[in-house]
Amino acid sequence: MAEQIIKQPDGRLAVFSTITDSLIVLDASPEEIVEWRSKRAAANERARTRQELDRLLDENDPGPYYQFAMTWAQVVAKGRGSGPTNA
């Protein structure tokens, strides 16, 4: 566990990083902790998706899925009977 949420003596919350051995959030409410973690998770997922797309769109890269990559034709054949979900 790299982070631990700590209850401060005044009832507010803090986040301690076990990587840096330091407090990285102080005097937060529960909702602020949720928002802080959500924003970080969203930023991390955007970065991960960009890396995946970069690999997928690079003609000289074997791609992000290696031997598990499917072609459009394979996906269409597997997906018959189930409709797509739009993002």
Evaluate whether residue 54 is within a structural domain: yes
Q: How far apart are CA 8 and CA 31, in angstroms?
A: 15
Evaluate whether residue 53 is within a structural domain: yes
Closest CA to 5 of 23, 21, 19: 23
Total number of domains in the chain? 1
Evaluate whether residue 25 is within a structural domain: yes
Evaluate whether residue 70 is within a structural domain: yes
Evaluate whether residue 85 is within a structural domain: no
Q: Note the pLDDT tens digit of each residue in 61-80.
A: 888 887 788 888 988 888 77
Q: Note the pLDDT tens digit of each residue in 7-64.
A: 999 999 999 999 999 999 999 999 999 999 999 999 999 999 999 999 999 988 888 8
Q: How far is CA 48 from CA 2, 41, 44, 69, 78, in A?
A: 19, 10, 6, 17, 26
Evaluate whether residue 86 is within a structural domain: no
**pTM given for the model:** 0.70
Range of the domain at 37: 3-78
